[in-house]
Amino acid sequence: MDWKHPITRRQSLKTLARMSAGITGVAIGGYSFLSPGRAKAETKDGKFLVEGVATKKDYETKELIKTVFEAAGGMGRFVSRGDVVVIKPNVSWARSPELAATTNPEVIEALIELCLDAGAKKVRIADHTIHDARRCFALTGVGQVAKKTGADLVFPRPSLMKQMKLHGQRLDVWPVFVPLVEADKVLNVPVAKDHGLSTLTLGMKNWIGAVGGRRSALHQDIHQTIVDLAQFFKPTLTLIDATRIMTKNGPSGGSPADVAVKNTVILSNDQVAADAKACGLFGYAPEEIGFVRLGQKWGLGTYDPQKLTQQKVLL
C-alpha cells in the first residue's frame, strides 16, 4: 500500500478488515490499534467468571467490587499502566439509581477507582442514552461519579457517531459511538433487567447503547443484532451489576415494586458467560435467552462450565 497518499475510509476499512481477520481484538475504523493485553485476556484458556454476593446486611458496594476483582487476580491483570479505559454503563433512562433502570453509580465509582489504582491514564464513561443524556447523567448519579473520580463523561454528540463496518450477520455498516472503540480497554458495566422483547437485558444487549443511527430498527431481529454488536465491541471485561435487578416492566421500570435486591455482581472476560450466569438470577436457563444462545453458537463465548474457571465469592 502507498502510505504517502491519504486513504479513503472505504480503503482503510477494507485494509483493516483484512488485517484483523482471524485476530481477536479487532482494530476498528482505522483509528484504534491492537492491544496485546486485550488479546491475551481473551485467550481460550484464560476464561473465568467470578460471582460476588454480599450476604452482610450493611455492606459497602466498593468492598464487594474489590473482593470480586481480587478473586479474578486483581485489576492489574486487565488494566495496565498508562491505559485509556472506557466504561460503558447502562444509563439509558433518566431514573434514580434505586429504580434499577440504570447501573448502580456506586459500582461504577468502585470500578473507576480500581482502574485508576491500576495506573490507568484516563477513564472515560460513555453511553448513548435513550432519554436526554444530560438528564440521564444527572439523575442516575453517573455525572457525580465522574466529578468525584475525575473520569471524563462523554456526551453522545453527533460528531462522535461514525459509520463503521461491523462485519455482522445482520448489521454491516452502522454508526458507532466512537469513544467506545477508541480506548485501550473497554469495560462493560450493564445492569441486569427485564426486557419486553429480548426477555432480559444484560451485558451483550448493552451494546445497543454504543451505536447511533436508527436504533429502533434493531428490534426487528433483536437477538442477532445484539450478537453482531457484541462481536464488534468485544469488551475486556463484563461486570454485570445485579446489586438491584429489575424483574418486571423492563427495561424502563419506574417503580420500586419492579426491583429485587440481589447484592450480586458478575465479573467475566467472556460476555456470553457473564450473561448466562445472570440469567439464573431471573430464573432462566441460558438457552432460553436468544442472544445468549446465539452468542455461544457464533463463538463469542461460552456458558459451558467445562471451559470456564468459575468462582463464587461471598462478602
Partner 1 sequence: MKARHLVWIRRISQTFFLGLFLILLVESRLSEDVYLDYSLYFSGDADIRLDQPVTFFFDLDPLVWLSSLLSGHGLVHGFGWALAVVVLTLFLGRVFCGFICPLGTIHHAVSWIRPALKGGSMVRANQKTPAQRIKYFLLIAVLVSAVMGLNLAGLIDPIALLFRSLALAVVPAVGVAIKGVFDAMAASDMKILNYLSYGGEALVSPVFGYGYPAYKTAWFIGLVFLAIVFLNRIRPRFWCRVLCPLGALLGICSRFSVLKLEKDHEKCTDCKLCSKTCQGAASPEPGQDWEKAECLLCFNCFHACPEGALSFRFRWSPKINRRPDMGRRAVLTGIGAGISIPLLTGLDSQAYHVSDPRLIRPPGALPEKDFLRLCQRCGLCMKVCPTNAINPTLAEAGMAGFWTPHLIMTQGYCEYTCTLCGSVCPTGAITEISAREKIDRPIRIGSAYVDRGRCLPWSGNGPCIVCQELCPTSPKAIYLKKEAVSGAGKTTWLVDVPRVDLKRCVGCGICETKCPVKGKPAIRVIAAGESRSIENQILLPDLVP
Site of interaction with partner 1 (CB under 8 A): 6-9, 12, 30-31, 93-98, 105, 130-135, 137-141, 143-147, 153, 155, 157-162, 178, 195-197, 214, 216-217, 219-222, 248-249, 251-255, 257-258
Between 144 and 309, CB nearer to partner 1: 144
Three-state SS for the chain is: CCCCCCCCHHHHHHHHHHHHCCCCCCCCCCCCCCCHHHHHHCCHHHCEEEEEECCCCCCCHHHHHHHHHHHCCCHHHCCCCCCEEEEEECCCCCCCHHHCCCCCHHHHHHHHHHHHHCCCCEEEEECCCCCCHHHHHHHCCHHHHHHHHCCEEECCCHHHEEEEECCCCCCCEEEEEHHHCCCCEEEEECEEEEECCCEEECCHHHHHHHECCCHHHHHHHHHHHHHHHHHHHCCCEEEEEEEEEECCCCCCCCCHHHEEEEEEEEEECCHHHHHHHHHHHHCCCHHHCHHHHHHHHCCCCCCCHHHCEEEEEEC
Query: Taking the complex as a whole, how short is the minimal distance between the CB of residue 253 and partner 1, in angstroms?
Result: 6
CA 223 to chain centroid: 16
Query: Taking the complex as a whole, how short is the minimal distance between the CB of residue 313 and partner 1, in angstroms?
Result: 27
Between 12 and 263, CB nearer to partner 1: 12
Query: Taking the complex as a whole, how short is the minimal distance between the CB of residue 143 and partner 1, in angstroms?
Result: 3
Query: Taking the complex as a whole, how short is the minimal distance between the CB of residue 47 and partner 1, in angstroms?
Result: 32
Between 94 and 118, CB nearer to partner 1: 94
Query: Taking the complex as a whole, how short is the minimal distance between the CB of residue 41 and partner 1, in angstroms?
Result: 27
Between 153 and 313, CB nearer to partner 1: 153
276 neighbors 17 (Cβ within 8 angstroms): no
Query: Taking the complex as a whole, how short is the minimal distance between the CB of residue 288 and partner 1, in angstroms?
Result: 16
Between 22 and 158, CB nearer to partner 1: 158
Q: How many CB atoms lie within 10 A of CB 174?
A: 23
Query: Taking the complex as a whole, how short is the minimal distance between the CB of residue 11 and partner 1, in angstroms?
Result: 9
Between 51 and 184, CB nearer to partner 1: 184
Query: Taking the complex as a whole, how short is the minimal distance between the CB of residue 248 and partner 1, in angstroms?
Result: 8
Between 92 and 296, CB nearer to partner 1: 92
Between 88 and 277, CB nearer to partner 1: 88
Counting Cα atoms < 13 Å in the Cβ hemisphere of 152 gives 15
